[in-house]
Amino acid sequence: MLVVAYSPTGGILASGSADTTIRIWDTCTSTPKTTLTAHKSQILALAWDAEMKFLISADKDGGIGVWRDPHKKTTEFKGDNIITKGHKLAVTALDWQPVHR
């Protein structure tokens, strides 16, 4: 495990690892809920949006992933995400713009 990110409510934890996967954990039961696979290199950064609708991830090769509702999935999946390669080097930090109401 290289990076972790708690959801805004604290009930869900996302962990990124060197094996290129992201695991979504239920913090109440300490059990994995989902494994996200699409990255091709080590996961270095994770961030939840304020409403927990999206998780964004970044990898060592500059890939950025946007995952829709990853905490609602119950099995491994591919395709409900966007992976883009816009950076030439590793992306080591991510964040969302605060929600202004």
Residue 75 has pLDDT above 60, yes or no: no
Tokens coding 72: 């609602």
Residue 89 has pLDDT above 50, yes or no: yes
Quick one: average pLDDT of 58-83?
A: 73
Strand arrangement of the beta sheet that strand 12-16 belongs to: 3-6, 12-16, 21-26, 31-37
pLDDT band at 73 (very low <50, low <70, confident <90, very high): low
List 66's β-bridge partners, or say none: 56, 82
What tens digit of pLDDT does each residue of 10-61 get? 999 999 999 999 999 999 999 999 999 888 999 999 999 998 888 999 999 9
Neighbouring C-alpha atoms within 13 Å toward the C-beta of 82: 7
Tokens coding 100: 């202004």
Q: Which amino acid is at 3?
A: V
- Give the CATH architecture of domain 3-85: Beta Barrel (2.40)
Task: Name the one residue in this structure whose structure tokens are 């954990």.
Answer: 25
